[in-house]
Amino acid sequence: MSQHTAAAPSRVPVLSEEVREALAAGRPVVALESTIIAHGLPRPCNLAVGLELEALVRSEGAVPATVAVLDGVAYAGLDKSGLERIASGDGVRKLGHRDLAPALATGATGATTVSATAFLAARAGLRVFATGGLGGVHRQWAQSQDESADLALLARTRVTVVCAGVKSILDVPATLERLETLGVAVLGYGTDRFPGFYLASSGEPVDWTVHHPEEVAQVMAAQDVLGGPESALLVANPVAEAEQLDPELHDRVLAEALAECRERGLTGQAVTPFLLGFLVRATGGASLEANLAAVRGNVRLGARIARAWAARA
Protein backbone atom coordinates (compact mmCIF):
# COMPACT_ATOMS: atom_id res chain seq x y z
CA MET A 1 0.00 0.00 0.00
CA SER A 2 1.40 3.38 -0.96
CA GLN A 3 1.47 6.17 1.59
CA HIS A 4 -1.26 8.76 1.26
CA THR A 5 -0.71 11.94 3.27
CA ALA A 6 -3.65 14.09 2.16
CA ALA A 7 -5.76 15.37 5.04
CA ALA A 8 -8.88 13.34 5.66
CA PRO A 9 -12.13 15.15 4.81
CA SER A 10 -14.20 16.32 7.78
CA ARG A 11 -17.24 14.49 6.47
CA VAL A 12 -17.43 11.02 4.92
CA PRO A 13 -18.83 10.99 2.36
CA VAL A 14 -18.39 14.50 0.97
CA LEU A 15 -21.70 15.76 -0.40
CA SER A 16 -22.01 17.59 -3.67
CA GLU A 17 -23.49 21.07 -3.36
CA GLU A 18 -26.70 19.87 -5.04
CA VAL A 19 -27.11 16.95 -2.62
CA ARG A 20 -26.20 19.04 0.42
CA GLU A 21 -28.76 21.71 -0.46
CA ALA A 22 -31.45 19.11 -1.15
CA LEU A 23 -30.92 17.41 2.20
CA ALA A 24 -30.92 20.73 4.05
CA ALA A 25 -34.22 21.65 2.39
CA GLY A 26 -35.80 18.23 2.97
CA ARG A 27 -36.01 17.49 -0.74
CA PRO A 28 -35.86 13.89 -2.05
CA VAL A 29 -32.45 12.40 -2.88
CA VAL A 30 -31.65 9.01 -4.44
CA ALA A 31 -28.28 7.27 -4.08
CA LEU A 32 -26.90 5.53 -7.18
CA GLU A 33 -24.02 3.06 -7.33
CA SER A 34 -21.05 3.58 -9.63
CA THR A 35 -19.88 0.03 -10.41
CA ILE A 36 -22.45 -0.22 -13.19
CA ILE A 37 -20.65 2.72 -14.81
CA ALA A 38 -17.08 1.57 -14.23
CA HIS A 39 -17.38 -2.20 -14.48
CA GLY A 40 -20.87 -3.18 -15.57
CA LEU A 41 -21.15 -1.63 -19.01
CA PRO A 42 -18.91 -1.28 -22.07
CA ARG A 43 -17.34 2.07 -22.94
CA PRO A 44 -18.40 4.60 -24.13
CA CYS A 45 -22.05 3.82 -23.48
CA ASN A 46 -21.35 3.52 -19.75
CA LEU A 47 -20.95 7.27 -19.29
CA ALA A 48 -24.11 7.92 -21.29
CA VAL A 49 -26.02 5.50 -19.06
CA GLY A 50 -24.63 7.13 -15.91
CA LEU A 51 -25.82 10.53 -17.10
CA GLU A 52 -29.16 9.06 -18.21
CA LEU A 53 -29.84 7.52 -14.80
CA GLU A 54 -29.16 10.83 -13.08
CA ALA A 55 -31.49 12.56 -15.56
CA LEU A 56 -34.22 9.98 -14.82
CA VAL A 57 -33.98 10.78 -11.10
CA ARG A 58 -34.31 14.50 -11.83
CA SER A 59 -37.24 13.91 -14.21
CA GLU A 60 -39.10 12.32 -11.28
CA GLY A 61 -38.50 15.34 -9.04
CA ALA A 62 -35.57 14.05 -6.98
CA VAL A 63 -31.83 14.71 -6.78
CA PRO A 64 -29.34 12.01 -7.82
CA ALA A 65 -26.34 11.19 -5.62
CA THR A 66 -23.98 8.92 -7.51
CA VAL A 67 -21.54 7.45 -4.98
CA ALA A 68 -17.84 6.83 -5.68
CA VAL A 69 -14.34 7.34 -4.28
CA LEU A 70 -12.01 9.76 -6.09
CA ASP A 71 -8.39 10.14 -5.00
CA GLY A 72 -9.13 8.77 -1.56
CA VAL A 73 -12.24 10.89 -0.94
CA ALA A 74 -15.70 9.31 -0.79
CA TYR A 75 -18.43 11.32 -2.50
CA ALA A 76 -22.22 11.22 -2.53
CA GLY A 77 -22.97 13.21 -5.65
CA LEU A 78 -20.58 13.59 -8.58
CA ASP A 79 -20.22 16.35 -11.14
CA LYS A 80 -19.78 15.43 -14.80
CA SER A 81 -15.99 15.34 -14.53
CA GLY A 82 -16.28 12.88 -11.65
CA LEU A 83 -18.60 10.67 -13.66
CA GLU A 84 -16.19 10.83 -16.58
CA ARG A 85 -13.32 9.68 -14.37
CA ILE A 86 -15.31 6.71 -13.10
CA ALA A 87 -16.43 5.85 -16.64
CA SER A 88 -12.89 5.96 -18.01
CA GLY A 89 -12.07 2.75 -16.19
CA ASP A 90 -8.38 3.67 -15.99
CA GLY A 91 -7.18 2.59 -12.56
CA VAL A 92 -10.74 2.56 -11.19
CA ARG A 93 -11.02 -0.15 -8.55
CA LYS A 94 -14.15 -2.03 -7.57
CA LEU A 95 -14.90 -1.19 -3.94
CA GLY A 96 -17.05 -3.15 -1.54
CA HIS A 97 -17.65 -1.69 1.90
CA ARG A 98 -14.63 -3.56 3.31
CA ASP A 99 -12.41 -1.78 0.77
CA LEU A 100 -13.44 1.75 1.71
CA ALA A 101 -10.94 2.34 4.51
CA PRO A 102 -7.91 1.16 2.46
CA ALA A 103 -9.15 3.21 -0.51
CA LEU A 104 -9.45 6.39 1.56
CA ALA A 105 -6.12 5.80 3.28
CA THR A 106 -4.16 5.21 0.06
CA GLY A 107 -5.78 7.84 -2.15
CA ALA A 108 -7.37 5.28 -4.47
CA THR A 109 -10.10 5.90 -7.00
CA GLY A 110 -12.89 3.35 -7.15
CA ALA A 111 -16.48 2.62 -8.04
CA THR A 112 -18.76 1.48 -5.23
CA THR A 113 -20.67 -1.80 -5.22
CA VAL A 114 -24.07 -2.24 -3.59
CA SER A 115 -22.55 -2.78 -0.14
CA ALA A 116 -20.24 0.24 -0.32
CA THR A 117 -22.93 2.47 -1.82
CA ALA A 118 -25.48 1.46 0.80
CA PHE A 119 -22.95 2.09 3.59
CA LEU A 120 -21.94 5.52 2.32
CA ALA A 121 -25.52 6.51 1.49
CA ALA A 122 -26.60 5.75 5.03
CA ARG A 123 -23.60 7.70 6.39
CA ALA A 124 -24.70 10.66 4.27
CA GLY A 125 -28.25 10.54 5.61
CA LEU A 126 -29.73 9.24 2.35
CA ARG A 127 -32.60 6.82 2.85
CA VAL A 128 -33.25 5.58 -0.71
CA PHE A 129 -30.83 3.77 -3.01
CA ALA A 130 -31.69 2.47 -6.49
CA THR A 131 -29.62 -0.23 -8.18
CA GLY A 132 -29.92 -3.13 -10.63
CA GLY A 133 -29.65 -6.48 -8.88
CA LEU A 134 -28.24 -7.44 -5.51
CA GLY A 135 -25.50 -9.93 -4.85
CA GLY A 136 -26.48 -13.04 -2.96
CA VAL A 137 -25.71 -16.65 -2.15
CA HIS A 138 -23.81 -18.35 -4.95
CA ARG A 139 -24.68 -21.73 -6.38
CA GLN A 140 -22.67 -24.57 -4.83
CA TRP A 141 -22.48 -22.55 -1.62
CA ALA A 142 -21.95 -25.71 0.44
CA GLN A 143 -18.62 -26.22 -1.33
CA SER A 144 -17.48 -22.63 -1.87
CA GLN A 145 -19.05 -20.71 1.06
CA ASP A 146 -19.35 -17.88 -1.48
CA GLU A 147 -21.85 -15.22 -0.46
CA SER A 148 -22.02 -11.56 -1.42
CA ALA A 149 -21.05 -9.02 1.21
CA ASP A 150 -24.22 -7.15 0.23
CA LEU A 151 -26.41 -9.34 2.43
CA ALA A 152 -24.66 -8.94 5.79
CA LEU A 153 -24.11 -5.21 5.21
CA LEU A 154 -27.82 -4.68 4.48
CA ALA A 155 -28.68 -6.48 7.72
CA ARG A 156 -27.09 -3.60 9.66
CA THR A 157 -27.69 -0.58 7.42
CA ARG A 158 -30.91 1.47 7.47
CA VAL A 159 -31.47 2.18 3.79
CA THR A 160 -34.25 1.34 1.35
CA VAL A 161 -32.85 -0.46 -1.69
CA VAL A 162 -34.86 -0.62 -4.90
CA CYS A 163 -33.63 -3.57 -6.96
CA ALA A 164 -34.75 -6.11 -9.55
CA GLY A 165 -34.09 -9.01 -7.21
CA VAL A 166 -30.75 -10.79 -7.34
CA LYS A 167 -28.83 -11.87 -10.40
CA SER A 168 -30.25 -15.11 -11.78
CA ILE A 169 -26.78 -16.67 -11.88
CA LEU A 170 -27.07 -16.93 -8.07
CA ASP A 171 -29.00 -19.34 -5.85
CA VAL A 172 -32.20 -17.30 -5.49
CA PRO A 173 -34.03 -19.52 -2.93
CA ALA A 174 -30.91 -19.67 -0.74
CA THR A 175 -30.50 -15.89 -1.00
CA LEU A 176 -34.08 -15.32 0.16
CA GLU A 177 -33.54 -17.73 3.06
CA ARG A 178 -30.39 -15.82 4.00
CA LEU A 179 -32.22 -12.48 3.90
CA GLU A 180 -34.88 -13.93 6.19
CA THR A 181 -32.23 -15.18 8.63
CA LEU A 182 -30.57 -11.76 8.61
CA GLY A 183 -33.88 -9.99 9.26
CA VAL A 184 -33.96 -7.97 6.04
CA ALA A 185 -37.55 -7.23 4.97
CA VAL A 186 -38.50 -7.72 1.31
CA LEU A 187 -41.42 -6.01 -0.40
CA GLY A 188 -42.58 -7.08 -3.85
CA TYR A 189 -43.54 -3.95 -5.78
CA GLY A 190 -46.71 -4.82 -7.68
CA THR A 191 -45.84 -8.52 -7.54
CA ASP A 192 -46.12 -11.52 -5.23
CA ARG A 193 -43.07 -13.13 -6.86
CA PHE A 194 -39.44 -12.21 -6.29
CA PRO A 195 -38.01 -10.73 -9.52
CA GLY A 196 -35.29 -12.60 -11.41
CA PHE A 197 -33.20 -9.61 -12.50
CA TYR A 198 -33.29 -10.35 -16.25
CA LEU A 199 -36.74 -11.91 -15.73
CA ALA A 200 -39.89 -10.43 -14.26
CA SER A 201 -40.19 -13.42 -11.91
CA SER A 202 -37.77 -15.89 -10.37
CA GLY A 203 -40.73 -18.09 -9.44
CA GLU A 204 -40.02 -17.58 -5.73
CA PRO A 205 -42.78 -15.97 -3.59
CA VAL A 206 -42.46 -12.84 -1.50
CA ASP A 207 -44.43 -12.41 1.71
CA TRP A 208 -45.40 -8.76 1.30
CA THR A 209 -46.65 -6.83 -1.74
CA VAL A 210 -47.07 -3.07 -2.12
CA HIS A 211 -48.40 -1.09 -5.05
CA HIS A 212 -47.58 2.58 -4.38
CA PRO A 213 -44.51 4.57 -3.31
CA GLU A 214 -46.48 5.92 -0.35
CA GLU A 215 -46.89 2.37 0.98
CA VAL A 216 -43.13 1.90 0.89
CA ALA A 217 -42.68 5.16 2.79
CA GLN A 218 -45.15 3.93 5.40
CA VAL A 219 -43.09 0.77 5.90
CA MET A 220 -39.94 2.90 6.21
CA ALA A 221 -41.63 5.01 8.87
CA ALA A 222 -42.76 1.88 10.72
CA GLN A 223 -39.15 0.64 10.73
CA ASP A 224 -38.13 3.83 12.52
CA VAL A 225 -40.97 3.61 15.04
CA LEU A 226 -40.09 0.01 15.88
CA GLY A 227 -36.40 0.72 16.36
CA GLY A 228 -34.36 -2.42 16.80
CA PRO A 229 -31.69 -3.56 14.33
CA GLU A 230 -30.83 -0.93 11.73
CA SER A 231 -31.62 -3.25 8.83
CA ALA A 232 -32.39 -2.34 5.24
CA LEU A 233 -35.70 -2.56 3.39
CA LEU A 234 -35.60 -4.23 -0.02
CA VAL A 235 -38.13 -3.15 -2.63
CA ALA A 236 -38.11 -5.86 -5.30
CA ASN A 237 -39.25 -4.19 -8.51
CA PRO A 238 -39.59 -6.52 -11.52
CA VAL A 239 -38.47 -5.56 -14.99
CA ALA A 240 -41.48 -5.14 -17.28
CA GLU A 241 -42.41 -8.42 -18.98
CA ALA A 242 -42.16 -6.71 -22.38
CA GLU A 243 -38.54 -5.79 -21.59
CA GLN A 244 -37.39 -8.98 -19.87
CA LEU A 245 -35.01 -11.48 -21.42
CA ASP A 246 -36.89 -14.30 -23.14
CA PRO A 247 -37.27 -16.89 -20.33
CA GLU A 248 -36.51 -19.91 -22.53
CA LEU A 249 -33.40 -18.22 -23.94
CA HIS A 250 -32.36 -17.22 -20.43
CA ASP A 251 -32.67 -20.74 -19.03
CA ARG A 252 -30.84 -22.36 -21.94
CA VAL A 253 -27.95 -19.90 -21.99
CA LEU A 254 -27.58 -19.91 -18.20
CA ALA A 255 -27.34 -23.72 -18.20
CA GLU A 256 -24.64 -23.50 -20.90
CA ALA A 257 -22.78 -20.83 -18.93
CA LEU A 258 -22.83 -22.86 -15.71
CA ALA A 259 -21.60 -25.96 -17.55
CA GLU A 260 -18.75 -23.99 -19.13
CA CYS A 261 -17.86 -22.53 -15.76
CA ARG A 262 -17.59 -26.02 -14.25
CA GLU A 263 -15.49 -27.27 -17.15
CA ARG A 264 -13.05 -24.39 -16.69
CA GLY A 265 -12.89 -24.94 -12.95
CA LEU A 266 -13.70 -21.30 -12.22
CA THR A 267 -14.31 -20.42 -8.58
CA GLY A 268 -14.64 -17.42 -6.27
CA GLN A 269 -14.62 -13.92 -7.72
CA ALA A 270 -13.97 -15.20 -11.25
CA VAL A 271 -17.42 -16.82 -11.49
CA THR A 272 -19.74 -13.80 -11.62
CA PRO A 273 -17.98 -11.77 -14.36
CA PHE A 274 -17.58 -14.93 -16.45
CA LEU A 275 -21.26 -15.87 -16.22
CA LEU A 276 -22.50 -12.33 -16.87
CA GLY A 277 -20.15 -11.97 -19.85
CA PHE A 278 -21.27 -15.34 -21.22
CA LEU A 279 -24.92 -14.28 -21.02
CA VAL A 280 -24.26 -11.01 -22.87
CA ARG A 281 -22.39 -12.78 -25.71
CA ALA A 282 -24.72 -15.77 -26.00
CA THR A 283 -27.89 -13.64 -26.03
CA GLY A 284 -26.53 -11.15 -28.55
CA GLY A 285 -26.67 -8.37 -25.98
CA ALA A 286 -30.28 -9.05 -25.01
CA SER A 287 -29.32 -9.72 -21.38
CA LEU A 288 -27.62 -6.32 -21.23
CA GLU A 289 -30.74 -4.62 -22.58
CA ALA A 290 -32.88 -6.36 -19.95
CA ASN A 291 -30.35 -5.30 -17.31
CA LEU A 292 -30.59 -1.66 -18.39
CA ALA A 293 -34.39 -1.80 -18.54
CA ALA A 294 -34.45 -3.08 -14.96
CA VAL A 295 -32.06 -0.37 -13.73
CA ARG A 296 -34.07 2.38 -15.40
CA GLY A 297 -37.28 1.13 -13.81
CA ASN A 298 -35.63 0.93 -10.40
CA VAL A 299 -34.22 4.44 -10.65
CA ARG A 300 -37.63 5.87 -11.53
CA LEU A 301 -39.28 4.02 -8.68
CA GLY A 302 -36.50 4.99 -6.28
CA ALA A 303 -37.13 8.66 -7.05
CA ARG A 304 -40.86 8.25 -6.47
CA ILE A 305 -40.24 6.54 -3.13
CA ALA A 306 -37.79 9.28 -2.14
CA ARG A 307 -40.48 11.86 -2.95
CA ALA A 308 -43.06 10.00 -0.86
CA TRP A 309 -40.56 9.76 2.01
CA ALA A 310 -39.68 13.47 1.83
CA ALA A 311 -43.38 14.34 1.83
CA ARG A 312 -43.79 12.71 5.25
CA ALA A 313 -41.27 15.03 6.88
Secondary element (H or E) of residue 67: strand 63-70
Residue 13, preceding peptide bond in cis (omega within 30° of 0): yes
pLDDT lower than 70: segments of the chain: 1-10, 138-147, 268-269
Please give the positions annotated as active site: 33, 167
pLDDT value, residue 40 = 83
148 annotated ligand binder: yes
Beta strands at 29-32 and 63-70: parallel, antiparallel or unpaired = parallel
Instruction: Please indicate if the annotation marks 94 as binding a ligand.
Output: yes
Task: For residue 3, give the amino acid letter.
Answer: Q
Integer-rounded Cα Rg, in Å, for the chain is 18
Sorted by where each starts, the structural domains of the chain and their CATH numbers stand as: 1-126 (3.40.1790.10), 127-313 (3.40.1790.10)
Half-sphere exposure of 241 (CA within 13 A, CB side): 3
Q: At what angle do helices 286-312 and 271-282 cross, to 10 degrees?
A: 110
C-alpha span between 100 and 95 (Å, rounded): 7
pLDDT value, residue 11: 73
Summarize pLDDT for 26-43 with one digit per residue, the tens.
Answer: 999 999 999 999 988 888
Helix segments in the chain, DSSP class H: 17-25, 35-38, 45-59, 80-88, 100-106, 114-124, 141-144, 149-154, 172-182, 213-226, 247-264, 271-282, 286-312
Beta partners for residue 147, in sequence order? 137
Residue 114 in marked binding region: yes
Model pLDDT for residues 55-99, shown as the tens digit of each residue: 999 999 999 999 999 999 999 999 999 999 999 978 999 999 999
The pLDDT value given to residue 268: 65
pLDDT digits (tens, 9 = 90+) for 48-58: 999 999 999 99
Q: Is 146 annotated as a binding residue?
A: yes
- 3-state class (DSSP) for residue 110: strand
Count CA within 13 A, CB hemisphere, residue 143: 6
Is 150 marked as binding a ligand?
yes
**Residue 156, pLDDT score:** 95
Q: Is 149 annotated as a binding residue?
A: yes
d(Cα 209, Cα 97) in Å, to the nearest integer? 30
